[in-house]
Amino acid sequence: GQQVMQIPQYQHVQEGEDFTTYCNSSTTLSNIQWYKQRPGGHPVFLIQLVKSGEVKKQKRLTFQFGEAKKNSSLHITATQTTDVGTYFCAGRVGGNKLVFGAGTILRVKS
Amino acid sequence: SAVISQKPSRDICQRGTSLTIQCQVDSQVTMMFWYRQQPGQSLTLIATANQGSEATYESGFVIDKFPISRPNLTFSTLTVSNMSPEDSSIYLCSVLSRGRSVYGYTFGSGTRLTVV
């Protein structure tokens, strides 16, 4: 079935360093969404990318959707301790069904 | 975007018993989604609940184990039946809701279930 692979599984960075997580789908996605889950919390919607090659920014976060609409990335510039959490990508494969990646756990050392 | 009230927030249950989780949404929504998230893992869709019809279950999940009710457009319940320790997990409901200009999924705060 549809799979969305996400790497790395875990990343521990020094505060101020950059962070990137990558998602790759086995099939073309109609769109991709990104979520953040703080420790002990629930996933919170960050953004949706729809167009091939789309790039969107939210302050220090940059989201990209690949040309083939099969891969995506989230880049955080100059991480802060408030960025700690698990970042999930989720591909919309048809209708309203989302397939979630495994998530990348981000820890930030201050 | 929608606001979801989910309860209970956590429970410890004996094996063989059942637990019903409730989600109340502050607006009418066509579809509600139920997910399971095992500790440190990703989210797995259990089923999609539509008002007035039977829920649609994903592979690996069956109605006898996870019966769902959807009596109206703002409410749904998921029951975890005949529980075993393997059912220990976080269960989340979700709806598609409109933010400023795009539809994203809003999640309830989750139910942390421990089966002993």
The CATH number of whichever domain residue A74 belongs to comes to 2.60.40.10
Q: Digits of tens for pLDDT over chain B (116 positions)? A: 789 999 999 999 999 999 999 999 999 998 899 999 998 899 999 999 988 788 999 999 999 999 999 999 999 999 999 999 999 999 999 998 776 667 789 999 999 999 99
**Pairwise CA distance, residues B51 & A28, whole Å:** 30
Which residue among A41, A47, A98 sits closest to B105, beta carbon to beta carbon? Answer: A98
- Give the domain extent around A43: 4-109
Regarding the domain delimited by B18-101, which CATH topology (the fold level of the hierarchy) does it fall under? Immunoglobulin-like (2.60.40)
- As for how many domains chain A has, the answer is 1
CA distances to A9, A60, A80, A83 from A12, rounded to whole Å, are 10, 18, 12, 11
For residues A53, A58, A62 and A64, what is the CA-based torsion angle, rounded to 10 degrees? -20
Q: Chain B interface, mutation test: which of A32, A37, A42, most B Cβ atoms within 10 Å? A: A42
Rounded distance between C-alpha atoms, residue B13 and residue A18, angstroms: 43
φ and ψ of B62, to 5 deg? -125, 155
